[in-house]
Amino acid sequence: MSEEKFRVESDLLGELKVPINAYYGVQTQRGINNYHISRKKMRDYPDYVVAIAYVKLAAVQTNHSLGVINDEISGAISQACQEIIDGKFHEDFPIDMMQGGAGTSVNMNANEVIANRALEIMGHKKGEYQYCYPNDHVNCGQSTNDVYPTTIRLALIRMNKSLVASLTGLISALRYKGEEFKDVLKMGRTQLQDAVPMTAGQEFNAYANNLEEEILNLERNIKLLHEINMGGTAIGTGLNAVPGFAKLCAANLSKLTGEPFVSAIDLVEATPDTGAYVSFSGALKRLAVKLSKICNDFRLMASGPRCGLNEINLPPKAPGSSIMPGKVNPVIPEVTNQVCFKVIGNDATVTFAAEAGQLELNVMEPVITECLFESLWWLHNAIDTLTEECVLGITVNKERCYEMVKNSIGIVTALNPYIGYKNSTKVAKEALETNRSVYDIVLEKGLLTKEELDEALDPKNMLASHKFIK
């Protein structure tokens, strides 16, 4: 490329060429040159870019109110931040998600983009930093060590809303199937052995209720992310921030985003603290564990079709084999399982990274960020896929389910209150050894009359608590 396609900027380490049309500057360029790790860029997560623009907007509003930055510069920086919030200039956030420096490259990327756009707004050229400097103006009263964690927290809060929306959709789909299958009698199982009868509707409603708890758990943990350390600057002492910055900045960020941010009581404590990330990651892991278990159940219930349980049918999505004609695999539950494994692994990484903090800062926040963003994004996509491509299309094999109930030894459990556990055991053993039905053996032994037996084995008396007569 010819020289005119670059401009030259300088920093502590010397001069460096930057693409002439880029809004980022020299420190971002160093980040681009240094980190080729994850193939994931900051711009791949729009909520991340929007979050740091909100943080910078709150900061400049705070500095303007406190008389630190004049009207012209404050107005230009504010406009630049708002444009980023509105979706512009996201391509100028090319920093790799995995990096050293505890997020300095991310903070400087934002400082430089905002400063150069502000320069344009004021009628200057990119790089004419004497009029608006990334560090002195955009980063005024701040440090990477308070901007970066605050940005992460806001981004997680925003991304969690998308996850909860997806989860709500899955829960609704499961409840829809619960209503559709409410009259389908089937065998419940414990330890993969026949237990007692239930309905397929009860099973699907249980899945819905099980996941409903996870919305509450996510919301409990997201509240921990509302405590921020803006104004703490480098280590929490507030050096280079004017008095009143911390609380006013938290208030401004709350007003801008609609989120109830509060300034941490002890900014020195809050600066290296990653406990909220550990808790939130744990909530994502808990959701993943439950979701994976449900997918395991779907795969078991759909196993067959001739030589398995064959209780439900999953929508066929792809031929299942390159060698076995007619085979169709449960690919949607399978991919969801794998996403859940990734989330569980990410949680382990978050835990190790949180533990690795030293003294007044945790420099491992970039990997914490990458893991949490990945878990949120993957879960959101997997849940949408599971809902739309699997759950809504599930059908049940009613006759197959009922046949297994009739032939099950498990229904003898319903007779315990009438004939006693000892007699029920004898009946179950004989049924197993002779391959005869529980029903016939009970009548043959005269343990109950036909009317009494029919009443005891009526589905309505096996699906919930009820009174019985000995």
Pair 405, 411: CB distance under 8 Å: yes
CATH code of 30's domain? 1.10.275.10
The tokens for 201 are 């509707």
Residue 329 in this model has a pLDDT that exceeds 80:
yes
284 in the same domain as 339: yes
Residue 155 pLDDT exceeds 70: yes
Tell me if residue 254 is catalytic. no
Same domain, yes or no: 205 and 121: no
Per-residue pLDDT band at 455 (split at 50, 70, 90):
confident
pLDDT of residue 1: 42
Confidence of residue 323 (pLDDT cuts 50, 70, 90): confident
In terms of domains, do 342 and 319 share one? Answer: yes
- Is 297 inside any structural domain? yes
Is 341 part of a structural domain of the chain? yes
Q: Tell whether the model's pLDDT for residue 2 goes beyond 60.
A: no
The CA angle 127-131-133, to the nearest 5 degrees, is 65
Structural domain total, the chain: 3
Banded model confidence at residue 469, pLDDT cuts 50, 70, 90: low
Query: Are 93 and 150 members of one domain?
Result: no
What is the residue-wise DSSP string for 286-333? HHHHHHHHHHHHHHHHT--SSSS---EEPPP-SB--SSSTT-B--HHH
Does 112 lie in the same domain as 194? no
pLDDT of residue 467: 65
Which candidate in 321, 375, 408, 437 is catalytic? Answer: 321
For residues 304 and 181, state if they share a domain.
yes
- Cβ atoms 467, 455 nearer than 8 A: no
Confidence band of 276 (pLDDT split at 50, 70, 90): very high
Nearest Cα to Cα of residue 259 among 227, 214, 304: 227
Residues belonging to the chain: 470
Close Cβ partners of 261 (under 8 Å, ≥ 6 residues apart) = 226, 227, 228, 250, 251, 253, 254
CA angle, 362 then 268 then 141, to 5°: 95
**361 strand-pairing partners:** 358
Range of the structural domain that residue 43 is part of: 22-140
Tokens of 327: 């085979």
Average pLDDT on 240-253 reads: 98
**Regarding beta strands 14-19 and 262-263, do their DSSP bridges make them parallel or antiparallel, or are they unpaired?**
unpaired
Q: Concatenated DSSP letters for 339-367?
A: HHHHHHHHHHHHHHHHHT-BTTB-TTHHH
Kindly report which listed range (21-30, 120-129, 313-322) carries the lowest average pLDDT score.
Answer: 313-322
Please tell me the predicted confidence (pLDDT) of residue 324.
84
pLDDT above 70 for 3: no
pLDDT at residue 307 is higher than 70: yes
Q: Do 364 and 435 sit in the same domain of this protein? A: no
| 335-378 per-position pLDDT tens digit | 999 999 999 999 999 999 999 999 999 999 999 999 999 999 99
* Span 412-453, pLDDT tens digits: 888 888 899 999 999 989 988 998 988 889 999 999 999 988
In this structure, are 214 and 363 located in the same domain? yes
Q: Specify whether 83 is located in the same domain as 37.
A: yes
- pLDDT (mean) for 259-286: 98
Q: What is the pLDDT of residue 466?
A: 64
pLDDT of residue 169: 98
Do 132 and 168 share a domain, yes or no? no
**169 and 117 co-located in one domain:** no
What would the DSSP string read from start to end of 392-449?
Answer: GG-EE-HHHHHHHHHT-SGGGGGGHHHHHHHHHHHHHHHHHHHT--HHHHHHHTTSS-
- Reduced to 3 DSSP states, what percent helix, strand and coil does the chain have, rounded to the nearest 5? 60, 10, 30
9 inside domain: no
Query: Which residue among 112, 140, 168 closes a domain?
Result: 140
For residue 58, pLDDT beyond 90: yes
Q: Over range 312-332, report the average pLDDT.
A: 89
Please report whether residue 2 resides in a domain. no
How far apart (Å, rounded) are the C-alpha atoms in residues 209 and 65?
48
Q: What is the mean pLDDT of residues 108-128?
A: 98
CATH label of the domain that carries residue 176: 1.20.200.10
Would residue 118 count as lying in a domain?
A: yes
Q: Which of 200-214, 248-262, 314-328 has the lowest mean pLDDT?
A: 314-328
Under the banding of pLDDT at 50, 70 and 90, the label for residue 454 is confident
Instruction: Please identify, among 109, 124, 140, the residue that sits at the C-terminal boundary of a domain.
Output: 140
Q: The CATH number of the domain where 422 resides is what? A: 1.10.40.30
Q: What percent of the chain has pLDDT over 90?
A: 86
Q: How confident is the model at residue 465 (pLDDT cuts 50, 70, 90)?
A: confident
63 vs 240: CA distance, rounded Å? 12
On whether residue 233 sits in a domain, the answer given is no
For residues 191 and 325, state if they share a domain: yes
Whether the per-residue pLDDT at 70 is higher than 70: the answer is: yes
Please identify, among 140, 160, 189, the residue that sits at the C-terminal boundary of a domain: 140
Instruction: Evaluate whether residue 262 is within a structural domain.
Output: no
Please check whether residue 252 lies inside any domain of the structure.
no
User: In the predicted model, what is the mean pLDDT of residues 72-89?
Assistant: 98
Q: Is the pLDDT confidence value at 317 over 70?
A: yes
Residue 462's pLDDT is: 75
